[in-house]
Amino acid sequence: MSNGQLSNSASQPAGRPSGVAVPTGLAGAAPGGKAASAPLLGRQEEPTIFELSVPGRTSASFRSTGVPEWPAEELVPPNELRPEPPPLVEVSERDLVAHMTRLSHRQYSVDLGAYPLGSCTMKYNPKACDEAASLAGFTGAHPAAPPSCSQGWLELMWSLGEALCKLTGMEAVSLQPPAGAAGELTGLLMMRAWHRSRGRSPGKVLIPDSAHGTNPASVSLAGYETVSVPSDERGLVPPRAVRERLSDDVAGIMLTNPNTLGLFEEHICEIAEAVHAAGGLLYYDGANLNAIMGVAKPGAMGFDIVHLNLHKTFAVPHGGGGPGAGPVAVSAPLAEFLPGPVVARSEDGTFCWHEPRQSIGRVHGWHGNALALVRAWAYILLNGSDGLRKVSQTAVLNANWLLSRLKGSYAVPFEGPAMHEVVVSTRGTGSQLKALDVGKGLLEKGFHSPTVYFPLVVPEALMIEPTETESPQTVAALAEALVEVASQRPDEAALAPRTTPVGRVDEARAARSLVLTWDDVAGAGGRRASDGTYSC
């Protein structure tokens, strides 16, 4: 199929024949995924909140309580009382709203357009999930409230845990880890505790060279040494390479399946058998679960420990970098090692906290990123069994369809059938274009950039994950933009982006002369705007 098959409102009015054959069912419509029409005015600097501060200006007000108004000197010992309040800012609520609204207009987001960041699963997050997470019965609950007062929360956590176990083919789950990397460390510490309970203390964990950086970092924090397993010429983990590295000293292997090249590890059962035979465990990094929900279960592949990224697969919005949630599910022999407490259902149908017998201990100050769990549960209820399967099927369809439109313009280093994401490269196409320039070129055209320079095994890598929530029209427009950028001369491409709130940012200068706070810019003067002039 050529790129002209879907009509594009930028070049022609919707509904008018394009002159190019439109396949049945792919009637032209404006791609919803482009942010190019966003009203990003002016390209001027936004002042910092500190520059908007005026001595004596206030926003805050406090409720009437009738509590006696003792002075600070009667409440805090003199040597501990700070003589002046900490210098913050002094702004009106109106100025604060305007400042933050202008900042929000300088920010790309899923709600604005397509966000094909590979391995990040930036799908649309249903508003119904947001609304569920804003219910006062959830937001107002203190985490130390006794179970008799928190039955709704416990039931939700129990139900979500059961569903995650069904999806992954696991037996038990902890919802405490607040992010994927936290889930990894939790899982690896359970691996360590399991081996120790059997009188063993192996020192190494195998990781493919295509793995996410968090994997080796987590392995190291868990007290293990990383042994890298090279991918083969097809981009897969070869069972032979795994077997060669197995020994008494290997605690297990961490894999992502599909892997970060977007390829399904087809020898997974053989690898699992070999690792288990050597006394090791298999850890599943759930970063790419969006490819296989309702299609295959990690448990059936032989995995013993699975973490899930609820902020990827289960539509928890990513919040500009977090919060996420990284529950860890395990097979039956590992259940007693889970971080405690976990939720259990009593015989009378009520829910309670339960401490696993050999628990590795808490990994979060409370019960994990609870509101993310509400969103994930709402998402699972909305989609159901068939819906989740359709999510994965469509994510894989979109990725493959996108790939078919990029061939010829980009090199495809590993030609296996793609799953939910594709990795292409500018290297080997005859072009001198850098992956970074492609990313910036896409920004200029109103799309977010793919992940660039990852996985590390591919030079000039572009890792693209369209997700299932982008329409074929949007995927076609994205492909068209990628193809256009690929045809640019490197000197031309290096000028992008020119339509964004700022042009290319000087990263080297940021690292060379560190400016991490406004006080680094303004020195004492930056604070003096407030200090000593407040009226409290």
Partner 1 sequence: MASYVPHTEAEVASMLAGLGLNSIDDLFGVVPEALRLAAGDLQLPAGLPEADVAGEMARLAASNRTGQELVCFAGGGAYDHDVPAVTRALAGRSEFVTSYTPYQAEVAQGVLQALFEYQTLVARLAGLPAANASVYDGASALVEAVNLATAATGRRSAWVSAGLNPRWRQVLATLTAGRETEIHDVALEGGVTAWHQARALGHTAPAALVLACPNYLGCIDPLAPAVKLADELGALVISVFDPVAAGLLRTPGEQGASVAVAEGQPLGTPLQFGGPYLGMMAVSKDHVRRLPGRLVGRTVDTEGRAAYVTTLRAREQDIRRERASSNICTNETLVAVTAMVQLAWLGTCGLRELALRCARGTRYLREGLLSLPGVEPLVDAPVVREFAVCLPVAPEVVVDKMAEEGFLAGLPVEAGGREGLLIAVTEKRTKAEMDAYVAAMEKVAN
Restricting to residues 67-96, which ones interact with partner 1 according to CB under 8 A? 67-70, 72, 75-77, 79-82, 85-91, 93, 96
Which of 28, 30, 50, 338 is in the footprint of partner 1 by CB under 8 A? 50
Q: Does 317 bind partner 1 (CB under 8 A)?
A: yes
Q: Are 186 and 360 in contact (CB under 8 A)?
A: yes
Residues 6+ apart with CB under 8 A from 468: 123, 290, 390, 391, 392, 393, 394, 395, 397, 398
Q: Are 321 and 108 in contact (CB under 8 A)?
A: no
Q: Does 433 bind partner 1 (CB under 8 A)?
A: no
Which of 34, 118, 187, 192 is in the footprint of partner 1 by CB under 8 A? 192
Q: Does 213 bind partner 1 (CB under 8 A)?
A: yes
Minimum distance of partner 1 from residue 338's CB (angstroms):
11
Closest CA to 203 of 187, 186, 227: 227
Q: Does 199 bind partner 1 (CB under 8 A)?
A: no
Q: Does 397 bind partner 1 (CB under 8 A)?
A: yes
Q: How many whole angstroms separate alpha carbon 486 and alpha carbon 435? A: 10
Give me the DSSP letters along 165-203.
HHHHT-SEEE----SHHHHHHHHHHHHHHHHHHTT----
Give me the DSSP letters along 293-339.
TTT--HHHHT-SEEEE-TTTTT----TTT------EEE-GGGGGGS-
Q: Does 352 bind partner 1 (CB under 8 A)?
A: no
| Helix (H) or strand (E) segment spanning residue 142 | none
Closest CA to 300 of 282, 312, 317: 282
Q: Does 387 bind partner 1 (CB under 8 A)?
A: yes
Query: With respect to partner 1, which residue has the nearer C-beta, 349 or 430?
Result: 349
Q: Residue for token digits 């709130």?
A: 501
Q: Does 7 bind partner 1 (CB under 8 A)?
A: no
Q: Does 214 bind partner 1 (CB under 8 A)?
A: yes
Assigned token pair, 408: 């010829």
With CB under 8 A as the rule, give the number of residues binding partner 1: 214
Which of 28, 30, 34, 110 is in the footprint of partner 1 by CB under 8 A? 110
Minimum distance of partner 1 from residue 193's CB (angstroms):
8
Q: Does 412 bind partner 1 (CB under 8 A)?
A: no
- Considering only residues 140 to 159 of the shown chain, the ones binding partner 1 according to CB under 8 A are 140-146, 148-153, 155-156
Q: Does 430 bind partner 1 (CB under 8 A)?
A: no
Query: With respect to partner 1, which residue has the nearer C-beta, 362 or 428?
Result: 362
Q: Does 406 bind partner 1 (CB under 8 A)?
A: no
Minimum distance of partner 1 from residue 239's CB (angstroms):
13
Assigned token pair, 517: 């706070």
Instruction: Provide the β-strand partners of residue 204.
Output: 225, 250
Stretch that binds partner 1, among 39-47, 277-285, 330-338, 481-489 (CB under 8 A): 39-47
Q: Residue for token digits 């699963």?
A: 121
Query: With respect to partner 1, which residue has the nearer C-beta, 138 or 243?
Result: 138
Q: Residue for token digits 């008018």?
A: 16
Q: Residue for token digits 């077997």?
A: 243
Q: Does 480 bind partner 1 (CB under 8 A)?
A: no
Assigned token pair, 175: 């919802």
Query: With respect to partner 1, which residue has the nearer C-beta, 404 or 428?
Result: 404
Q: Does 13 bind partner 1 (CB under 8 A)?
A: no
Which of 30, 173, 206, 219 is in the footprint of partner 1 by CB under 8 A? 219
Which of 37, 131, 277, 333 is in the footprint of partner 1 by CB under 8 A? 131
Q: Does 491 bind partner 1 (CB under 8 A)?
A: no
Q: How many whole angstroms separate alpha carbon 134 and alpha carbon 531? A: 37
Q: Does 445 bind partner 1 (CB under 8 A)?
A: no
Q: Does 104 bind partner 1 (CB under 8 A)?
A: yes
Q: How many whole angstroms separate alpha carbon 483 and alpha carbon 477? A: 10
Stretch that binds partner 1, among 52-60, 245-253, 278-286, 407-415 (CB under 8 A): 52-60
